[in-house]
């Protein structure tokens, strides 16, 4: 087999590899070298939203990790749009006395150097090849924010190298990617958290609390994401690489559904396609709209729609859960809770925080889980169920048929 050359610097973020085989070409994105070596709402928000710092970790927290000391030492793989955001949140949360960023990896030299400069006196190593970062003994935790078709390759390698891993959502565009990461987490015994920041947002914690304790048995859910402003170029618009719109973006909602309904769906049916953005850009293969219906256990139905060409000022995001005793609806920055008592409905509007930085809270929580040897809320099970739920819906839409969970289960 001929080994592919390393891609140009823009490849991670603007790659359009239609002439390359998928998904096997992912293995050749780097130069060949030796393989890598081996409760409740108030209680929760009170713990996580109070500005807790990422504090120093004792060496015992890194049992089995080479080179552990009192610092939590981070390496970043991918510092493009999302990766640079995670880096900024990390730097805003810590002091040099509690954390050290020791390595920055990106094949785009400009982005890599910019990220290193932002780290100031920490002076992390600037690395082109992610495998070199994983070989470093002064990296305990890896933050992965590369394009999603690379998540499995990077996460599996990081876990095999004995690193704790924070991996951006979703786990990957295929169920094979999901299985690869799931198996690697089980084998490695390291802490693994998926970038589902909504899981740490006070608004969604309030929604979950209301559904679980105020509205009775859930019978139906409706939800929508009708907003524009998505990328229109690069790997994102190739559904083989991004997993299509439902996997790349709506996986956030899928995580909320599986979390609040305490399980995964049984089957799905849907319809969608490209209407307004056909040919934008010419190589576009991802949908610009779709609707999908899911059936959960106990005859719970869920209807979800997603549109990316909604005009400014219209649409938005909402999730509404209908129960035997009422309804809980999250509408942007308000939780509208309607409860029926003695045959009379009563509605309460609960303001939700507008300025909470859920990504920063998620990163703080991950450090706390490592330090205290606890399982993250957005763990591998959450990542697996949400990603597979999105793949289930995508399969139903693309193949225009009802699809059972057994067809995507791993």
Q: How far is the C-alpha of 143 from the C-alpha of 178, rounded, in Å?
A: 18
Residues 6+ apart with CB under 8 A from 227: 308, 310, 315, 316, 317
pLDDT of residue 54: 39
Q: What digits encode the pLDDT tens for the residues 236-248? A: 999 999 999 999 9
Q: Which helix (H) or strand (E) covers residue 340, if one does?
A: strand 334-341
Domains along the chain with CATH numbers: 11-29+38-196+360-377 (3.40.50.720), 199-355+388-407 (3.30.360.10)
pLDDT of residue 97: 53
Kindly tell me if the per-residue pLDDT of 31 is higher than 70: no
CB atoms within 10 A of CB 364: 25
pLDDT of residue 276: 92
The residue with tokens 């089980």 is 186
Q: What digits encode the pLDDT tens for the residues 145-186? A: 999 999 999 999 999 999 999 999 999 999 999 999 999 999
Considering only residues 17 and 385, tell me which one the structure prediction assigns the higher pLDDT.
385
Q: Which has the minimum average pLDDT: 9-23, 208-222, 236-250?
A: 9-23
**Residue 212: exposure state from Cβ atoms within 10 A (0-12, 13-18, ≥19):** middle
Cα first-last separation, the chain: 30
Residue 287 — very low, low, confident or very high, per pLDDT cuts 50/70/90?
very high
- For the beta sheet containing 300-307, the strands, ordered from the edge strand earlier in sequence to the opposite edge, are 344-351, 334-341, 326-331, 316-323, 218-226, 300-307, 289-296, 267-273, 403-404
Average pLDDT estimate for 337-347: 89
Residue 332 — very low, low, confident or very high, per pLDDT cuts 50/70/90?
confident
Q: What digits encode the pLDDT tens for the residues 311-330? A: 777 788 999 999 999 999 99
Kindly tell me if the per-residue pLDDT of 221 is higher than 80: yes
Q: Which has the minimum average pLDDT: 7-16, 293-302, 342-351, 359-368?
A: 7-16
Q: Which helix (H) or strand (E) covers residue 384, if one does?
A: helix 380-399
pLDDT of residue 39: 38
pLDDT of residue 229: 76
Q: What digits encode the pLDDT tens for the residues 40-73? A: 333 333 333 333 333 333 333 334 333 334 678 9
Q: What digits encode the pLDDT tens for the residues 80-118? A: 999 999 999 999 876 555 788 999 999 999 999 999 999
Kindly tell me if the per-residue pLDDT of 24 is higher than 90: no
The residue with tokens 């938005």 is 316
Helices (H), 261-328: none
Here the tokens at position 350 are 């609960």
Quick check: helix, strand or coil at residue 300?
Answer: strand
Q: Which has the minimum average pLDDT: 26-35, 99-108, 251-260?
A: 26-35
Q: How far is the C-alpha of 332 from the C-alpha of 170, rounded, in Å?
A: 23
Q: What digits encode the pLDDT tens for the residues 370-379? A: 989 999 999 9
Q: Is the pTM of this model over 0.85?
A: no
Here the tokens at position 346 are 């009563």
Here the tokens at position 280 are 């934008």
Give the chain's mean pLDDT.
84
pLDDT of residue 149: 98
Percent of the chain with pLDDT strictly greater than 90: 70
Q: Which residues pair with residue 223 across a beta bridge? A: 304, 319
Kindly tell me if the per-residue pLDDT of 34 is higher than 50: no
* Rg, Å, the chain Cα set: 21
Kindly tell me if the per-residue pLDDT of 347 is higher than 80: yes
Upstream peptide bond of 323 is cis (omega within 30 degrees of 0):
no
Here the tokens at position 340 are 């029926």
Spatial contact of 14 and 146, defined as CB atoms under 8 Å apart = no
Q: What DSSP line would sit under 150-185, residue for residue?
A: GHHHHHHHHHHTT-EEEE-S-S-SSHHHHHHHHHHH
Q: How far is the C-alpha of 253 from the C-alpha of 259, rounded, in Å?
A: 10
pLDDT of residue 1: 36
Highest mean pLDDT among 37-41, 316-320, 386-390: 386-390
pLDDT of residue 310: 82
CB atoms within 10 A of CB 122: 17
Q: How far is the C-alpha of 137 from the C-alpha of 64, rounded, in Å?
A: 12
Here the tokens at position 245 are 């719109």
pLDDT of residue 181: 99
């Amino acid at each position: 087999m001929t080994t592919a050359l390393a891609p140009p610097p823009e490849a991670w973020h603007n790659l359009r590899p239609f002439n390359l085989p998928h998904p096997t070409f992912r293995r050749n994105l780097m130069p060949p070298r030796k393989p890598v070596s081996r409760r409740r709402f108030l209680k929760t928000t009170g713990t996580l939203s109070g500005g807790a710092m990422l504090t120093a970790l004792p060496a015992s927290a890194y049992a089995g990790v080479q080179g552990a000391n009192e610092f939590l030492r981070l390496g970043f793989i991918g510092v493009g749009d999302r990766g640079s955001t995670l880096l900024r949140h990390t730097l805003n949360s810590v002091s040099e006395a509690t954390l050290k960023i020791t390595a920055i990896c990106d094949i785009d030299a400009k982005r890599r150097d910019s990220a290193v400069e932002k780290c100031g006196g920490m002076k992390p190593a600037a690395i082109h090849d992610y495998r070199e970062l994983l070989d470093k003994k002064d990296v305990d935790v890896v933050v992965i924010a590369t394009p999603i078709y690379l998540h499995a390759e990077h996460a599996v390698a990081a876990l095999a190298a004995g690193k704790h891993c924070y991996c951006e959502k979703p786990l990957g565009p295929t169920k094979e990617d999901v299985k690869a990461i799931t198996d690697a987490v089980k084998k490695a015994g390291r802490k693994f958290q998926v970038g589902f920041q909504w899981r740490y947002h006070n608004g969604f914690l309030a929604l979950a609390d209301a559904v679980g304790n105020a509205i009775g048995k859930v019978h139906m859910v409706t939800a929508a994401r009708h907003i524009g402003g998505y990328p229109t170029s690069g790997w994102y618009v190739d559904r083989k690489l991004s997993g299509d719109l439902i996997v790349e973006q709506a996986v956030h909602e899928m995580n909320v559904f599986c979390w609040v309904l305490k399980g995964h769906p049984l089957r799905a049916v849907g319809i969608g396609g490209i209407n307004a953005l056909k040919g934008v850009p010419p190589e576009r293969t991802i949908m610009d709209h779709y609707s999908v219906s899911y059936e959960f256990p106990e005859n719970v139905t869920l209807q979800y729609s997603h549109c990316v060409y909604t005009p400014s000022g219209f649409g938005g995001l909402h999730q509404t859960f209908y129960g035997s005793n009422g309804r809980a609806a999250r509408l942007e920055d308000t939780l509208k809770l309607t409860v029926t008592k003695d045959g009379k409905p009563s509605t309460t509007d609960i303001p939700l925080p507008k300025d909470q930085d859920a990504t920063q809270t998620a990163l703080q929580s991950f450090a706390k889980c490592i330090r205290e040897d606890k399982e993250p809320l957005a763990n591998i099970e959450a990542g697996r169920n949400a990603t597979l739920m999105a793949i289930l819906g995508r399969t139903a839409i693309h193949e225009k048929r009802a699809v059972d969970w057994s067809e995507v289960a791993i």
